[in-house]
């Protein structure tokens, strides 16, 4: 996903000299070519996330389209006051890129987990929150954020969903993508963990249970229309996210159901419960530890089918 994002940033910077990229002293190999080709559009601000948002806000007030980059929860939690007061309050075109959503940096411990970020960023007025599931979505998500006013949050994963037989999947903000068709149940997910959903759906096909898998890449604004269609046409809905359930994708889906006035016959939210994950391990290991890997998705659908 990171390479797809960089491809989009190259295009944006080449097409528009007002596009600026700021990094918090990270991504040296990633940004080397960019900084050489666009030296006046690149700033290494150092390990100073609060200052990064402050500088980005000043540039945006002068008409720049700013992208800021850091890893894990550092571009959100460490500088949340600046995001709220400097960027969001003034509705500035600043796009915050988090590389390392969820447990991407699981081997570095909970200090590097980005698991509360969706709930926090979507609570700020005027924000757009995107958690791509594929490289295509990461590319188009970067492009689309540059066109919008207000603060954008692009949550990139080290993992990704692999393209099956589908053609290139573009991204329209606020419109979910169907990655796999199905007629019985619907799995709605965001981020690279959707690959676990696709693997689970493939496995459930062997049990004659057909699951639709939706990439709800835009968490804010959510696709109310698609959710309403799934509620009407599915026996049940599973939400899947590599982040906290409280305030996350599952919460957003239920809020959309409340707004639409229609609720699924059955629903199960899979994500991180009200806890910190103190275990150190790979992304795959930690997914299994908290119950969002393939086997837990399969069990959730099978239990739903039996009840």
Burial class of 276 by CB neighbour count within 10 A (0 to 12, 13 to 18, 19+) = exposed
CATH no., domain 2-156: 3.40.50.970
Confidence of residue 162 (pLDDT cuts 50, 70, 90): low
pLDDT digits (tens, 9 = 90+) for 219-242: 999 999 999 999 999 999 999 999
Put simply, whether the predicted model's pTM sits higher than 0.75 gets the answer yes
Alpha-helical segments (H) within 151-282: 194-205, 224-233, 249-260
Is the pLDDT at 133 greater than 70? The verdict is yes
HSE (side-chain half, CA atoms, 13 Å) at 139: 12
Cα separation of 248 and 254, whole Å? 10
Q: Which residues pair with 187 in a beta bridge?
A: 213, 238
HSE (side-chain half, CA atoms, 13 Å) at 124: 26
CATH 3.40.50.970 location in the chain: 2-156
Cα separation of 194 and 137, whole Å? 13
Which pLDDT score is estimated for 234?
Answer: 97
The structure tokens listed for 270 are: 């899979």
Closest by CA to 138, choosing from 130, 146, 126, is: 130
The structure tokens listed for 108 are: 């570095």
CATH 3.40.50.920 fits domain 177-306: yes
Cα separation of 28 and 206, whole Å? 46
pLDDT digits (tens, 9 = 90+) for 176-214: 999 999 999 999 999 999 999 999 999 999 999 999 999
Is the pLDDT at 168 greater than 70? The verdict is no
Is the distance from CB of 259 to CB of 224 less than 8 angstroms? yes
Cα separation of 260 and 217, whole Å? 20
pLDDT digits (tens, 9 = 90+) for 255-302: 999 998 999 999 999 999 999 999 999 999 999 999 999 999 999 999
Alpha-carbon distance values, 146 to 15, 143, 153 (Å)? 12, 6, 11
Cα separation of 43 and 168, whole Å? 32
CATH 3.40.50.920 location in the chain: 177-306
The structure tokens listed for 103 are: 């447990």
Which pLDDT score is estimated for 27?
Answer: 75
pLDDT digits (tens, 9 = 90+) for 69-125: 999 999 999 999 999 999 999 999 999 999 999 999 999 999 999 999 999 999 999
Q: Mean pLDDT in the chain?
A: 94
Reduce the DSSP state of residue 162 to 3 states and report it.
coil
């Amino acid at each position: 996903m990171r390479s797809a994002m960089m491809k989009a940033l190259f295009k944006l910077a080449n097409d528009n000299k007002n596009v600026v990229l700021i990094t918090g002293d990270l991504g040296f190999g990633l940004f080397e070519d960019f900084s050489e080709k666009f030296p006046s559009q690149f700033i290494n601000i150092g390990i100073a996330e609060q200052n990064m948002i402050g500088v980005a806000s000043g540039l945006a007030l002068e008409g720049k389209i700013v992208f800021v980059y850091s890893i894990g929860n550092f571009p959100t939690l460490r500088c949340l006051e600046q995001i709220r007061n400097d960027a969001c309050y003034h509705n500035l075109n600043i796009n915050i890129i988090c590389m390392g959503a969820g447990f991407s940096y699981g081997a570095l411990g909970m200090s590097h987990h980005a698991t509360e970020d969706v709930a926090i960023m979507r609570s700020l007025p005027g924000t757009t929150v995107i958690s791509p599931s594929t490289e295509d979505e990461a590319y188009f998500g970067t492009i689309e954020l540059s066109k919008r006013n207000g603060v954008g949050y692009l949550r990139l994963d080290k993992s990704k969903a692999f393209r099956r037989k589908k053609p290139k999947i573009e991204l329209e903000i606020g419109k979910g993508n169907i990655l796999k068709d199905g007629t019985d149940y619907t799995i709605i997910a965001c981020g690279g963990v959707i690959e676990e959903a696709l693997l689970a759906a493939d496995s459930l096909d062997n049990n004659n249970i057909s699951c639709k898998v939706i990439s709800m890449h835009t968490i804010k604004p959510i696709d109310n229309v698609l959710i309403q269609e799934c509620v009407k046409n599915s026996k049940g809905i599973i939400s899947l996210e590599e982040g906290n359930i409280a305030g996350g994708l599952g919460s957003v889906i239920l809020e959309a159901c409340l707004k639409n006035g229609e609720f699924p016959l059955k629903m199960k939210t899979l994500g991180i419960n009200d806890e910190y994950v103190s275990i150190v391990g790979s992304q795959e290991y930690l997914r299994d530890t908290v119950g969002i890997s393939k086997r837990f998705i399969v069990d959730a659908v099978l239990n739903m089918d039996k009840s």
